[in-house]
Amino acid sequence: MIKKTLKLFYNLICLVFIATLSSCTHSFYAPNDNIMVQLKEKNDLVANGSFSSQTNVFQVGYSPLKHLAIAGSHYSLTDQNSNDGGINNFQDGRFNMWKASIGTYYFINLGDIRNKRTGNKEERVYSPIEPIGFLFDLYTGYGGGRVENNYVSGGQSIFQHQQYFIQGGFHFISSFVDVGFSARRSILNFYDGKLFGQVTGRDLDDINQLIAGNRYSPTEFTFKVAGGWKYGKAFFLYNFAPNLDPNLLQDGPNLSVGLQVHINEIIQSTKKGK
């Protein structure tokens, strides 16, 4: 059974890489992962790491007080042009973004609801899949980073970017399986642009259009499916941004695979074992 599960997981990882291999032109913005640490109670300390053929993401979240969440993330993407026909002079590019956020959450524990109905808390028998329930979370924060595009002509464009955002999420949580969704709305702008070497033609036009339309408001969505146990879960993450301003020349949707670790659960288990 374990071998079959590992084989299935390996095949799914291969599909992730196939799904994310695509022909690219230069872009100024990449749809990036929303905060998906899924904190649900005081002292929760969770770390996520995920990757695809083009991206690497790390997130960490902590709840110092009940209903208070603090989270941060770093996202990086590398583009390589696979077009041999030369749609433009793009050679390769890099996009990175860090985010810091503060928020709140509310977890509806279905086990607690059942307990209140019975009114028998002392004699209650817990199910092995608890805690199980629905999680609502809301974050607001700030992010920044840099986008770099290199061209076969030897030219290069570099822009700094910053983003103010608000994000809401809805998740089903259990000890073994999680399913989550979140939506983020932000104010995005680019600054401190630099050009090096020769950047001409369509590429220069794209840069001028980006500057002319500066101050964008992307809406981004992230879906997450995870499975494992209370100390950690493997997950698949899909994020996309529909109807982005064409001036951003956005990268397409991204599908990634990762691992979520519940650090507080590991620490508590270690203490109990002493």
> What digits encode the pLDDT tens for the residues 177-215?
999 999 999 999 999 999 999 888 888 888 999 998 889
Query: Among 2.120.10.70, 2.40.160.20, 3.40.50.720, 3.10.50.40, what is the CATH number of 2-273?
Result: 2.40.160.20
Confidence of residue 21 (pLDDT cuts 50, 70, 90): very low
The answer to whether 75 touches 61, Cβ cutoff 8 Å, is: no
Residue-level length of the chain = 274
Please give the pLDDT value at position 85: 44
Going by C-alpha positions, the residue among 162, 163, 126, 149 that lies closest to residue 77 is 149
E strand or H helix at 215: none
Residue holding tokens 């620490």? 267
Confidence of residue 157 (pLDDT cuts 50, 70, 90): very high
* CB within 8 Å of 260: residues ≥ 6 apart: 37, 38, 46, 47, 48, 226, 228, 232, 233, 234, 235
Query: Rounded distance, CA 264 to CA 24, Å?
Result: 41
Going by C-alpha positions, the residue among 68, 79, 71 that lies closest to residue 34 is 71
Confidence of residue 22 (pLDDT cuts 50, 70, 90): very low
Mean local confidence (pLDDT), 67-78: 96
Query: Rounded distance, CA 47 to CA 58, Å?
Result: 7
Q: What is the pTM of this model?
A: 0.83
Please give the pLDDT value at position 123: 52
Weakest-pLDDT range from 72-76, 88-92, 102-106, 159-163: 88-92
Which burial class, exposed, middle or buried, applies to 98 when counting CB atoms under 10 A from its CB (0-12, 13-18, 19+)? Answer: middle
